[in-house]
Amino acid sequence: MRNILIIATKEVREGMRNRWVLATTLVLAALALTLTFLGSAPTGNVGASRLDVVIVSLSSLTIFLVPLIALLISHDAIVGEIERGTMLLLLGYPIGRGQIVLGKFLGHIAILCFATICGYGAAAIALALMGGATDVQSWLAFVSMTGSSVLLGAVFVAIGYFVSASAGERSTAGGIAIGLWLFFVLIYDMALLGGLVAAQGRSLPDGLLDLLLLANPTDAYRLLNLGSGGAAALSGMGGVAKNSILTGEVLLAALSVWTAAPLALATLLFSRRDI
Amino acid sequence: MPSTVSVKGVSKRYGGKVDALRALSFTLDEGETVALVGHNGAGKTTLIKLLLGLIRPTSGEVRVLGEDPAKGDFAVRRALGYLPESVSFHMALTGRETLSFYARLKRVDIRCADELFERVGLAISAADRPIRTYSKGMRQRLGLAQALLGAPKVLFLDEPTSGLDPALRRNFYSLIDELRSGGTTILLSSHALGELEDRAGRVIIVNRGSQIADGTIDDLRRIASLPSRIRVRPISGETPGLLKEPGVRWTEAGDGSLEAEVAHSERLPLLHRLSNAASGIDTLTMMEPTLDDLYAHFLNSQEAA
């Protein structure tokens, strides 16, 4: 356990030196604040609270940005260190390979956590100052959105490690990471939508849509944040959520599995790898 | 003396095709400094990785401090020091941060950092700068500092003097002498055969993954029975009659000196005769075969076999 913490601390320190922490925090804060100011302007008397509008726009932003940031941080973690030669030295020390992976994971999650909480926290403070939202339900949804954003980040950090442990070169890992990002964030949903349109309204077999939504962590995240409360009506995800047996717990569990499985695979591959 | 490292019939084959190491066997004792000599790609680094337990042998048995290093016994790892070839660090961190990171992993008190920096000749002012700004020599010194953390019982140094200037090399070898007298086993691989000559008690030569010689430099000289070179400079331009001995072929070696190769067993009698006739001779130099010569000899004899 101590080894894991030592590695995690080093990752965080390195992230601060590399300005990764700063850059991520600033990007998230800037976009969150922009969405807050822009998004809360036109609501007027529509009935949706400002906070709900912000939740919808922020979680759509998260789906694009957080996986990208997570993959950028993580795809290099193992293969990059092997290529630069720092892994060779590290493995000569009394530390297990699993501890290295877990330590890095913890460090990277800490960085993401900090960036997300600061970035979205800034948006929350701005909203509170504007006095737009007092609804407790919506605030809870906001907090859960922030938390699940970190979880979504964890999923893609773990996927990034899996890529990093299996790729032979850094550039390959980078390419695969970009490909995975495109697949999960853009292509999958387009294909899903295309499929639904092609089915021409015929109903899908029971549970198939649920399964397809669980098979993509970004969809699970979307359903989790937009499937209930004020955001549901606003985003149109309420319709999907109503017909789905996927509760918040199931979605959270799916995201956890999406984190644990790639992480376990990455550790396994890394342990077997000749350095 | 108790042995610290033992290698028995170890082979390593990569991907079922490439034989990186073939049937290596040797033991290293406490307080021994052993030079591992061979071309690039001869298997030196592979051997060190096996000893560290980073890779497993295809066959054979490796023991370091009584344990199989591939099992990753932390207690054993704590007693090892390792300097990889062309060592690299995380560029954004400072030297001190890097050293304390490794010290924590080895559970060594970080307060020894300053003393270590001084020992390897890294200025304290440099220790607080990011490694990005370091020269190759400074990185090498930091590498050495991390290898010395926690007073290791066994040290593996892969090309430790590459990138060090001559003064630092001397500094490095006096450090090695100090460690050896403290009982540390040191295995160092190098191309710089000349500087290993007086430093290493023993030499192991590997070529294409096979061990082709193992012994002290004197042992190797005896086995190789390479001729010594003798160089004589007569006082005046004329050649003393004595030098026209049968069985010795003298050749001109510039500046009026004469050189001849003498077999190991012949050299003392010849020296004796020459010194009896010392009147005609200005200087007399005797050159034993260097480690370079021995290395070339063993390589050639293996190629011929």
For residues A231 and B13, which has the higher predicted lDDT (pLDDT)? B13
In a domain, B196, yes or no: yes
The backbone torsions φ and ψ at residue B154, rounded to the nearest 5 degrees and listed phi first, read -130, 130
| Euclidean distance between CA atoms B43 and B46, whole angstroms | 5
Which of B206, B222, B238 terminates a domain? The answer is B222
In a domain, B301, yes or no: no
The C-alpha of A195 sits at a distance from chain B's nearest C-alpha, in angstroms, of 44
* Per-residue tokens: B124: 């304290």
Collapsed DSSP state (helix, strand, coil) of residue B119: helix
**What residues of A are in contact with residue B158 (Cβ under 8 Å)?**
none
| Euclidean distance between CA atoms B62 and B33, whole angstroms | 19
Domain range enclosing A187: 2-272
The backbone torsions φ and ψ at residue B60, rounded to the nearest 5 degrees and listed phi first, read 95, 180
| Euclidean distance between CA atoms A146 and B148, whole angstroms | 46
Same domain for B9 and B83? yes
Whether chain B has a CB inside 8 Å of the CB on A5: the answer is no
How many structural domains compose chain B?
2
Same domain for B142 and B10? yes
| Euclidean distance between CA atoms A25 and A13, whole angstroms | 15
Q: Is the pLDDT at B238 greater than 70, yes or no?
A: no
Same domain for B210 and B63? yes
Tell me the per-residue pLDDT of B173-204, one tens digit each, with 9 for 90 and over. 888 888 888 889 999 988 777 777 777 788 89
In a domain, B303, yes or no: no
Domain range enclosing B34: 3-222
B39-63 in b/e burial notation, b at 16+ Cβ within 10 A? eeebbbbbbbbbbbbbbebeebebb
In a domain, B150, yes or no: yes
- The answer to whether B153 and B4 have CB atoms below 8 angstroms apart is yes
Q: Which of A1, A20, A91 should be substituted to probe chain B, the one whose Cβ sees the most B Cβ atoms within 10 Å? A: A91
Residue B14 pLDDT grade (very low, low, confident, very high; cuts 50, 70, 90)? confident
Let me know how long chain A is: 275
The C-alpha of B88 sits at a distance from chain A's nearest C-alpha, in angstroms, of 6
Say what the ipTM of the complex is: 0.85
Quote the pLDDT of residue A60.
87
| Euclidean distance between CA atoms B296 and B290, whole angstroms | 10
Same domain for B248 and B184? no
Collapsed DSSP state (helix, strand, coil) of residue A100: helix
CB-based contacts of B45, cutoff 8 Å, min separation 6: B85, B158, B189
Collapsed DSSP state (helix, strand, coil) of residue A35: helix
Quote the pLDDT of residue B276.
73
First to last CA, chain A: 24
- The per-residue pLDDT string of chain A (275 residues; one tens digit each, 9 = 90 and over) reads 899 999 999 999 999 988 889 999 999 999 888 888 876 565 555 556 777 788 888 888 899 999 999 999 999 999 999 999 899 999 999 999 999 999 999 999 999 999 999 999 998 888 888 776 567 888 888 888 999 999 999 999 999 999 999 998 999 999 999 999 999 999 998 998 888 888 776 766 767 888 888 899 999 998 888 877 666 666 667 667 666 777 888 899 999 999 999 999 999 999 988 77
> Looking at the partner chain, which of B77, B93, B107 has a beta carbon nearest the beta carbon of A13?
B93
How many structural domains compose chain A?
1
- Closest alpha carbon within chain B to A10: B101
Whether chain B has a CB inside 8 Å of the CB on A60: the answer is no
Same domain for B115 and B237? no
> Looking at the partner chain, which of A18, A86, A94 has a beta carbon nearest the beta carbon of B77?
A94
Helix locations, A131-216, DSSP H: 136-166, 170-182, 188-198, 208-214
In a domain, B174, yes or no: yes
* Per-residue tokens: B45: 């680094």
Q: What average pLDDT is seen over chain B?
A: 84
| Euclidean distance between CA atoms B220 and B201, whole angstroms | 12
In a domain, B132, yes or no: yes
DSSP letter (8 states) at residue A186: I
| Euclidean distance between CA atoms A37 and A43, whole angstroms | 11
DSSP letter (8 states) at residue A199: T
The backbone region for B214, taken as left when phi is positive above 0, alpha when psi lies in -120 to 50, beta otherwise, is: beta
- The answer to whether A156 and A70 have CB atoms below 8 angstroms apart is yes
Look up tokens 């998230």; give the residue: A28
Whether chain A has a CB inside 8 Å of the CB on B273: the answer is no
* Per-residue tokens: B223: 């086995």
Q: Which of B58, B76, B105 should be substituted to probe chain A, the one whose Cβ sees the most A Cβ atoms within 10 Å? A: B105
Q: Is the pLDDT at B305 greater than 60, yes or no?
A: yes
**What residues of A are in contact with residue B90 (Cβ under 8 Å)?**
10, 14, 86
**What residues of B are in contact with residue A14 (Cβ under 8 Å)?**
90, 92-93
Quote the pLDDT of residue B1.
62
Q: Is the pLDDT at B210 greater than 80, yes or no?
A: yes
Consecutive H or E run containing A229 = helix A229-235
Nearest partner of B64 among B33, B103, B27, judged by Cα: B27
Quote the pLDDT of residue A106.
97
Same domain for B99 and B209? yes
Quote the pLDDT of residue A185.
92
Whether chain A has a CB inside 8 Å of the CB on B15: the answer is no
Consecutive H or E run containing B96 = helix B95-105
Whether chain B has a CB inside 8 Å of the CB on A89: the answer is yes
Quote the pLDDT of residue B107.
92
The C-alpha of B188 sits at a distance from chain A's nearest C-alpha, in angstroms, of 16
Same domain for B208 and B113? yes
* Per-residue tokens: B29: 């004792």
| Euclidean distance between CA atoms A65 and A73, whole angstroms | 12
At how many degrees (to 10) do helices A50-74 and A217-226 cross? 160
Does the distance separating the beta carbons of A94 and B54 come in below 8 Å? no
DSSP letter (8 states) at residue A41: S
- Chain centre to alpha carbon of residue A249: 17
Angle at A232 between CA A116 and CA A140, to 5 degrees: 45
Whether chain B has a CB inside 8 Å of the CB on A117: the answer is no
Which of B184, B205, B222 terminates a domain? The answer is B222
Q: Which of A3, A17, A82 should be substituted to probe chain B, the one whose Cβ sees the most B Cβ atoms within 10 Å? A: A17
Same domain for B193 and B236? no
Residue A21 CB coordination number (10 Å): 20
Quote the pLDDT of residue A109.
96
Q: What average pLDDT does range B272-285 have in this prediction? A: 74
Nearest partner of A8 among A116, A126, A118, A100, judged by Cα: A100
Question: How many CA atoms lie within 13 Å of B271's alpha carbon, on the beta-carbon side?
Answer: 14
> Looking at the partner chain, which of B14, B84, B146 has a beta carbon nearest the beta carbon of A88?
B84
Does the distance separating the beta carbons of A85 and B87 come in below 8 Å? yes
| Euclidean distance between CA atoms A256 and A262, whole angstroms | 10
In a domain, B297, yes or no: no
Residue B156 pLDDT grade (very low, low, confident, very high; cuts 50, 70, 90)? very high
Q: What average pLDDT does range B63-83 have in this prediction? A: 88
Q: Give the CATH number, domain containing residue B103.
A: 3.40.50.300
